[in-house]
């Protein structure tokens, strides 16, 4: 509990004790002494509410809950209901205290994430260690990270090996090992040994800076429910003030009630009408849901995306790097008119300038020195392969579409996998089969995704029909589209979106930016350090596990259920008590419950959004 919350709690306790004590004091006809006595606990607990209301009234900011509370309680004092006036303010402040504690609790998961931000960095300059602000570190600087320290900037390990705690980034509690040549992300905590890094980014572009910016901006993007409540409150609050006035006038003009009783009835209506429960509980629920997700390495860019995620009925997956590991390896070499060594030699030379995983697997399988002097002009043919001049001859290395384009008499392989065909001009030289392993958790994750209420799963891939069919079957994907060029992925997604209600696309965030942007909601996974993922997606999974997706879906659905529960409960109870109060059936105590009681119950219900469903 914060100092401010403790002060409010002390004021509430003092006011409650005084109010109970005054109840047993016989004031008799000395109303002025009774008024002064009850003003003490009233001002102890509510002076700040009254001051804020007066300030807002002077500034012309009418019709907020503090002003309504002031009008209702001052009105109760005027008509002589001193105990009820004090009780209303006391219970209102209790509700505010509950709200403050609940918001603080939901913010804790966000503030815990903010704690990953390092305050200093130890840089080696001219052989001397120097402690500086992380903003002063440049790309290429050597940084020392000691055990127990946070990694300040993204960098590559150049000396030492260690164990890192990356829980704040990925949600994964198990430590990871890192050594020379491996990349370490800022915000990780060094657990065991001293290491040296060569920084690869400036602080503003580092992983921790991107995550913090993402989290800070997440609360700015309101859901449709929050926008509705904001608009509703603007119309609702002045409307109930007018209704309260009309009730008072109606009772005075058309009944034999006294002015005091008429005002009392209007005040009951005014107290219960405060929209606090809605205005507070709805954004609090979304904030709790975003906080729960962030603790599990799932960054949701705003409550609007949390709301959309809850409505998703179809999830579309990229294959490579999403369902599969993206670690390609050569499985087979099938030459035609040349021997296997020559075929892999040509393919490796042609692919040697590419950093594509398929190209790297071919170069790795070649395993020999690449004679780059033999290689002339190389040009990429989008979605098909490459054209390379080797020893003065023109070779084509790529998929079946490229072979058709150059009129090479190729044939598909009977083995599953990605076939890389090779042709000299129009003469077919053979193909190389490359396979990509399915991730260990893909099948389990797809099953969990379906259990979370997703009706359909689809996979999009540039791979051939045979590979796509096998991968989809192995992991339990309902449907797939194979042989897609990059631009065809977008049109395929649009086709799926036209058939279904709300569609999410899951990709690695690097090559899938157009599709991530086009989907109703884009989910980038394994996206640590990826600019493309942060920019293009709406939800960022900070590790490489598909199992985070059903967690995100369940969090979103639970959050929306809580929001709907709070809206329905608040409106039904308030409208019911407002009607009963206007008819004179219930008194101020029920009005207090209709306001503060509903607020407390709605807040307690909202806090449930912070718990991650099992």
Tell me what the mean pLDDT of segment 20-26 comes to. 87
Task: Give me the mean pLDDT over the 102-126 stretch.
Answer: 69
Q: Is the pLDDT of residue 334 over 90?
A: yes
- Categorize the per-residue pLDDT at 199 as very low, low, confident or very high, splitting at 50, 70 and 90: very high
pLDDT of residue 112: 56
Give the model confidence (pLDDT) of 225-271 as tens digits.
666 666 666 677 678 778 888 988 998 888 888 888 888 888 778 77
CB atoms within 10 A of CB 6: 11
Q: What angle do CA 255, 259, 264 make, to 5 degrees?
A: 95
Give the angle 228-265-584 at the CA atoms, nearest 5°. Answer: 100
* 528-538 tens-digit pLDDT: 656 666 677 88
* pLDDT band (50, 70, 90) for residue 105: low
Buried (b) or exposed (e) across 248-282, using 16+ Cβ within 10 A? beebbeeeebeeebbbbbbbbbbbbbbbbbbbbbb
pLDDT for 346 equals: 93
Would you state the pLDDT for residue 63?
57
Q: Is the pLDDT of residue 294 over 90?
A: no
Q: Which residues neighbour 3 within 8 Å (Cβ) at sequence distance 6 or greater?
A: none
Measured distance CA(551)–CA(338) in Å, rounded: 52
Percent of the chain with pLDDT over 70: 86
Average pLDDT, integer, range 151-166:
89
Q: Name the segment(s) of the chain with CATH classification 2.70.150.10.
A: 121-212
**Predicted confidence (pLDDT) per residue in 580-599, tens digit:** 877 878 777 777 777 777 87
Angle at 438 between CA 435 and CA 443, to 5 degrees: 150
Mean predicted confidence (pLDDT) in 7-24: 90
Determine the average pLDDT of the residues in 176-185. 88
Instruction: Give the pLDDT confidence of 339-389 residue by residue, as tens digits.
Output: 999 999 999 999 988 877 788 889 999 988 888 889 999 998 877 889 999
* Ranges 20-34, 358-372, 560-574, 578-592: which has the least confidence: 578-592
- Point out which residues pair with 479 in neighbouring strands: 458
Q: What is the DSSP string of 189-233?
A: EE-SS-EEEEE-S-GGGSHHHHHHHHHHHHTTS--HHHHHHHHHH
Distance, in Å, from the CA atom of 361 to the CA atom of 367, rounded to the nearest integer, reads 10
Distance CA 85, CA 70 (A): 9
Are 137 and 143 contacting, i.e. CB atoms less than 8 angstroms apart? yes
CATH 3.40.1110.10 in the chain: give the residue spans.
325-437
Confidence of residue 39 (pLDDT cuts 50, 70, 90): very high
Q: pLDDT band at 335, cuts 50/70/90?
A: very high
CATH number listed for the domain at residues 121-212: 2.70.150.10
126 is catalytic: no
Could you say which of 141, 154, 318, 595 is catalytic?
318
Q: Which of 396, 394, 377 is nearest to 386 (CA)?
A: 396
Terminal Cα-to-Cα distance of the chain (whole angstroms): 28
- The confidence score (pLDDT) of residue 214 equals 61
Interval 456-474 mean pLDDT: 88
Which of 23-32, 38-47, 120-129, 334-343 has the weakest average pLDDT? 23-32
Smallest CA-to-CA distance from 197 within 183, 177, 209 is with 183
Average pLDDT over residues 328-337: 88
pLDDT at 20 over 60: yes
Which of 521, 431, 532, 439 minimizes the C-alpha distance to 477?
439
pLDDT digits (tens, 9 = 90+) for 419-452: 899 999 889 999 999 888 888 889 999 999 999 9
Identify which has the larger pLDDT, 164 or 226: 164
Alpha-carbon gap, residue 191 to 130, rounded angstroms: 21
In contact, 492 and 319? CB cutoff 8 Å: no
Q: What average pLDDT is seen over the chain?
A: 83
Position 241 scores a pLDDT of 78
- pLDDT-derived band at 170 (thresholds 50, 70, 90) equals low
Choices 3.30.110.30, 3.40.1110.10, 3.30.9.10, 1.20.58.220: CATH for 325-437:
3.40.1110.10
Q: What is the pLDDT of residues 490-519, one digit of tens each?
A: 889 999 998 877 999 998 755 677 888 888
Strand partners, 123: 130, 143
Q: What is the chain's alpha carbon radius of gyration, rounded to the nearest angstrom?
A: 33
**Residue 477 above 80 pLDDT?**
yes
Q: What does the pLDDT average to over 556-584?
A: 87
Task: State the average pLDDT over residues 287-300.
Answer: 83
């Amino acid at each position: 509990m914060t100092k401010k919350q403790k002060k409010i709690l002390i004021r509430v306790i003092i006011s409650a004790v005084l109010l109970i004590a005054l109840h047993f004091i016989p004031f008799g006809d000395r109303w002025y002494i009774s008024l002064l006595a009850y003003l003490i606990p009233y001002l102890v607990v509510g002076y700040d509410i009254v001051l804020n209301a007066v300030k807002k009234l002077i500034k012309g900011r009418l019709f907020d809950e503090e002003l309504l509370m002031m009008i209702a309680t001052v009105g109760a004092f005027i008509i002589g209901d001193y105990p009820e006036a004090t009780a209303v303010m006391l219970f209102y402040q209790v509700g505010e205290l509950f709200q403050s504690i609940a918001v603080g609790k939901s913010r804790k998961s966000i503030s815990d994430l903010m704690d990953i931000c390092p305050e200093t960095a130890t840089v080696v300059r001219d052989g001397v260690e120097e402690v500086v602000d992380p903003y002063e570190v440049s790309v290429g600087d050597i940084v020392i990270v000691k055990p127990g320290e946070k990694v300040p900037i993204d960098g590559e390990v150049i000396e030492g090996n260690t164990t890192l705690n990356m829980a704040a980034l990925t949600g994964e509690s198990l430590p990871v090992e890192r050594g020379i040549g491996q990349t370490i992300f800022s915000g990780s905590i060094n657990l065991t040994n001293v290491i040296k890094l060569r920084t690869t980014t400036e602080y503003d572009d580092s992983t921790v800076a991107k995550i913090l910016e993402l989290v800070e901006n997440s609360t700015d993007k309101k859901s449709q429910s929050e926008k509705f409540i904001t608009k509703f409150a603007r119309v609702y609050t002045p409307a109930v003030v007018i209704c309260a006035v009309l009730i008072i006038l109606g009772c005075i003009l058309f009944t034999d009630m006294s002015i005091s009783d008429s005002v009392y009835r209007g005040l009951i209506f005014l107290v219960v009408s405060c929209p606090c429960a809605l205005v507070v509980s709805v954004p609090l629920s979304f904030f709790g849901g975003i906080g729960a997700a962030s603790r599990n390495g799932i960054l949701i860019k705003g409550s609007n995306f949390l709301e959309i995620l809850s409505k998703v009925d179809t999830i579309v997956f990229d294959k490579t790097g999403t369902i599969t590991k993206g670690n390609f390896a050569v499985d087979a070499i099938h030459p035609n008119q040349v021997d296997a060594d020559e075929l892999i030699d040509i393919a490796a030379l042609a692919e040697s300038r590419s950093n594509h995983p398929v190209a790297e697997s071919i170069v790795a399988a070649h395993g020999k020195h690449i004679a780059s002097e033999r290689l002339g002009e190389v040009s990429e043919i989008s979605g098909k392969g490459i054209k390379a001049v080797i020893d003065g001859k023109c070779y084509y290395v790529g998929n079946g579409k490229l072979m058709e384009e150059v009129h090479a008499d190729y044939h598909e392989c009977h083995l599953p996998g990605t076939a890389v065909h090779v042709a000299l001009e129009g003469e077919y030289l053979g193909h190389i089969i490359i396979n990509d392993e399915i991730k260990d958790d893909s099948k389990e994750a797809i099953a969990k995704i379906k259990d979370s209420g997703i009706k359909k799963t689809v996979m999009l891939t540039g791979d051939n029909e045979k590979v796509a069919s096998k991968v989809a079957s192995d992991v339990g994907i309902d449907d797939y589209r194979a042989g897609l060029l990059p631009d065809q992925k977008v049109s395929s997604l649009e086709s799926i979106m036209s058939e279904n209600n709300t569609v999410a696309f899951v990709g690695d965030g690097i090559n899938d930016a157009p599709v991530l942007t086009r989907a109703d909601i884009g989910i980038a996974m394994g996206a640590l350090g990826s600019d493309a993922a942060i920019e293009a997606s709406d939800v960022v999974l900070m590790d490489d596990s598909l199992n985070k997706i059903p967690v995100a879906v369940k969090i979103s659905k639970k959050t929306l259920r809580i929001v709907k529960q709070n809206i329905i409960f608040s409106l039904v109870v308030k409208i019911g008590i407002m009607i009963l109060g206007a008819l004179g059936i219930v008194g101020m105590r029920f009005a207090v419950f209709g306001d503060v009681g509903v607020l407390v119950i709605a807040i307690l219900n909202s806090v449930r959004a912070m718990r991650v469903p099992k």
